A and B are shown apart, each in its own frame.
Chain A
Amino acid sequence: MDFIAILSIFVLACFVGYYVVWSVTPALHTPLMAVTNAISSVIIVGALIAAAASGAPAAKWLGLAGVVLASVNIFGGFAVTERMLAMYKKKDKPIAKGNKA
């Protein structure tokens, strides 16, 4: 892929991000931060490449350290998001009286 192709993906993804994030309900802004944090750890891809490459031990160890950090984030981020989202509940009992909302 050449630079322009990548740049196109990036710019379009920024627009997608803009519209998707505005549609997130404000009540879920904290889970939004937790989950964006988890997915930004996709940087683990780079760390895995560095860790798997042969030839430069220093780069390999940096990569392994990166894998540890990113996976703390991936597991921690998704798990804490799941924990928070599980707490959002609907009303379990019938409403006492007319609620116009």
Chain B
Amino acid sequence: MIPAPEIVPDLSTAADAAHAVNPWVALAYLVAGVFFILALRGLSSPASSRCGNRFGMAGMLIAVVTTLMTHLPVKSWCSGPATGTPGGLMSCPVQSGLDTVTILQILAAIGIGAVIGLTTARRIAMTAMPQLVAAFHSLVGLAAVLVAAAAFINPGAFGILGLDGNILAVSRVEMMLGAAIGAITFSGSVIAFAKLNGNMSGAPILLPARHLINLGTLAAILVGTALYALAPSAGPGEGWLFWAILVAAFVIGFLLIIPIGGADMPVVVSMLNSYSGWAAAAMGFTLHNTAMIITGALVGSSGAILSYIMCRAMNRSFLSVIAGGFGADAGASGGESKEQRPWKQGSAEDAAYMLQQAEKVIVIPGYGMAVAQAQHALREMADMLEEQGVEVKFAIHPVAGRMPGHMNVLLAEASVPYENVFELEDINSEFAQADVAFIIGANDVVNPAAKTDKSSPIYGMPVFDVDKAKQVFFIKRSMGGVGYAGVDNDVFYMNQTTMLLADAKKMVEEINKNLDG
């Protein structure tokens, strides 16, 4: 499979010429790669994060400028009459110079991308972050496909031609993998985007025998890649394999994501994040480019770790998420043996009074808070309580929101200081000392069934111990809907629980009025 480099003699093959780069150029790409590592390193704390982001920008600038400088488009033309025998070797005095048209085209392409990217980044609502990230992933995926296709059509430019004028077998594998992973990332992200953006129902779409179809398609892609690598020629002869595999990869990306329900989208978005990294890494192998390989590895591991964290926070295995179908049978599991149990409804005045009397309040926001756009009102409430000497902390579950860390961004947007925002494991022990647990737009993440009821679909998921707090206020639109998982929640019926049935934003504003007066 791996051709020993020794067999390539000094017949300046394109592969050699392109890969034996100037050491300064290689160094520049390495620096870019290191800057990308520093960009992620900066995110270890909000204080250093902006500096990290600058490192990322600098790294990208280095990579782009280096590539532009080393791959200046040139064109050559005959500047004098041709000599030699017609039909035989012809030669003419050649003049070459910069191909300014191409340079302008490239700069225009970057400019168009910059305008679209910057306007989107400026206008996007923070609640729509998951969709935006999914859309961005699809672009990386498609870009990887385009680069791979360009490498397939013009392998000489990428320095992947072997002695026989065919694409090197190892490059074919790398290129094919990059194209296939890119295609999966693209079509998968498009579906994830449509589901998150509401263009498509979040309900899982379950095809019959889908596991068989998916495994079959995956096997076809792998076998096809092997056949393509071993094929005698990569050109028109066996070239159709390249396009066929690409189509199969687009299809599998689509098939893999449609059976996955809305609740599992955080995992999917993280997973696609990972794929976009592996696609970049595969293309980095094709181009022997350190910056691309380092970045691909970073992004690939980042997405994989985030998927793992999300799965752990839901107590689901990665495989069961990928297999899909979660949420499809939710209606059925909720209906069994549910007796009417008494619960207590309260008013904004009650809540305001109890909050003022409290020494320590823990607020648990969920995605419902974001949907109701209640984060600003909530922050005002926290401010007013703090002015009155109440300690207010925010507790965030890893799966709160629609993507990892989404709730933190929404609270940050509402100017909640990040020191007041805590992760599940850091704050869970504090509920015993809390006077009030204030649940707003969250449900499954406080459900004690996850700890006690083995038959519950959310059994084993780490949840907040709100039952230990002296008093619980639970803002909910109505007693009807019961979270994503469709399970009843014992917290509703606890003695110390007061249900506040209203739109989250209106209720908090109402509480704020009472706090004021």
Residues of B within 8 A of A64 (CB): 105-106, 109
B152 and chain A: residue at smallest CB distance: A59
The one of A1, A59, A80 that contacts B121, using a Cβ cutoff of 8 Å: A80
Q: Are B110 and A67 within 8 A (Cβ)?
A: yes
Please classify how large the interface on chain B is, using the bins under 10, 10 to 19, 20 to 34, 35 or more. Answer: 35 or more
Residues of A within 8 A of B110 (CB): 67-68, 71
The secondary-structure label for the interface of chain B is helix
- How many residue pairs link A and B with beta carbons under 8 A? The number is 394
| Binary flags per residue of B72-116, CB closer than 8 Å to A gives 1, else 0 | 111100000000000000000000000100100110011011101
Shortest CB distance A47–B (Å): 5
Complex: A93 Cα to B425 Cα, angstroms: 27
Point out which of A3, A22, A76 has the most chain B C-beta atoms below 10 A from its C-beta: A76
Shortest CB distance B27–A (Å): 13
**Does any Cβ of A come within 8 Å of B404's Cβ?**
yes
Residues of B within 8 A of A97 (CB): 389, 391
**Does any Cβ of A come within 8 Å of B419's Cβ?**
yes
Q: Are B136 and A76 within 8 A (Cβ)?
A: yes
Binds A, one of B233-241, B285-293, B334-342, B458-466: B285-293
**Does any Cβ of A come within 8 Å of B403's Cβ?**
yes
Assuming the contacts A3-B2, A35-B39, A53-B154, asked whether A40 and B299 have C-beta atoms less than 8 A apart, the reply is yes
| Binary flags per residue of B259-286, CB closer than 8 Å to A gives 1, else 0 | 0000000000110010011011101111
The one of B56, B280, B415 that contacts A78, using a Cβ cutoff of 8 Å: B56
| Binary flags per residue of A1-41, CB closer than 8 Å to B gives 1, else 0 | 11100100111011011101111111111111111111111
A62 and chain B: residue at smallest CB distance: B150
Chain B, 241-266, CB within 8 A of any chain A CB: none
The one of A6, A49, A60 that contacts B158, using a Cβ cutoff of 8 Å: A49
Binds A, one of B124-132, B317-325, B435-443, B490-498: B124-132
Q: Are B157 and A49 within 8 A (Cβ)?
A: yes
Q: Are A45 and B403 within 8 A (Cβ)?
A: no
**Does any Cβ of A come within 8 Å of B386's Cβ?**
yes
Q: Are B121 and A18 within 8 A (Cβ)?
A: no
Q: Are B409 and A76 within 8 A (Cβ)?
A: no
Q: Are B59 and A30 within 8 A (Cβ)?
A: no
Q: Are B405 and A77 within 8 A (Cβ)?
A: no
**Does any Cβ of A come within 8 Å of B226's Cβ?**
no
Complex: A55 Cα to B154 Cα, angstroms: 8
Q: Are A85 and B283 within 8 A (Cβ)?
A: no
Q: Are B287 and A30 within 8 A (Cβ)?
A: no
Q: Are A69 and B409 within 8 A (Cβ)?
A: no
**Does any Cβ of A come within 8 Å of B455's Cβ?**
no
Chain B, 283-313, CB within 8 A of any chain A CB: 283-303, 305-306, 309
Shortest CB distance A66–B (Å): 4
Residues of B within 8 A of A73 (CB): 113, 117, 136, 139-140, 143
A46 and chain B: residue at smallest CB distance: B147
The one of A34, A42, A58 that contacts B63, using a Cβ cutoff of 8 Å: A42
Residues of A within 8 A of B170 (CB): 3
The one of B59, B281, B302, B422 that contacts A21, using a Cβ cutoff of 8 Å: B302
Assuming the contacts A24-B40, A33-B404, A67-B106, asked whether A45 and B389 have C-beta atoms less than 8 A apart, the reply is no
Q: Are A69 and B404 within 8 A (Cβ)?
A: no
Q: Are A56 and B295 within 8 A (Cβ)?
A: no
| A and B contact pairs by CB, cutoff 8 A, 26 listed | A1-B19, A20-B37, A20-B298, A21-B298, A21-B301, A23-B44, A25-B43, A28-B46, A28-B49, A29-B408, A33-B270, A34-B136, A41-B140, A43-B292, A45-B287, A46-B286, A48-B71, A52-B72, A53-B157, A65-B146, A69-B142, A74-B113, A75-B113, A78-B53, A80-B124, A81-B53
Query: Beyond A29-B306, A32-B43, A54-B99: 15 further Cβ-contacts under 8 Å?
Result: A6-B288, A10-B281, A10-B296, A36-B298, A41-B60, A41-B143, A44-B63, A45-B291, A49-B158, A54-B73, A67-B106, A69-B142, A69-B143, A75-B117, A86-B50
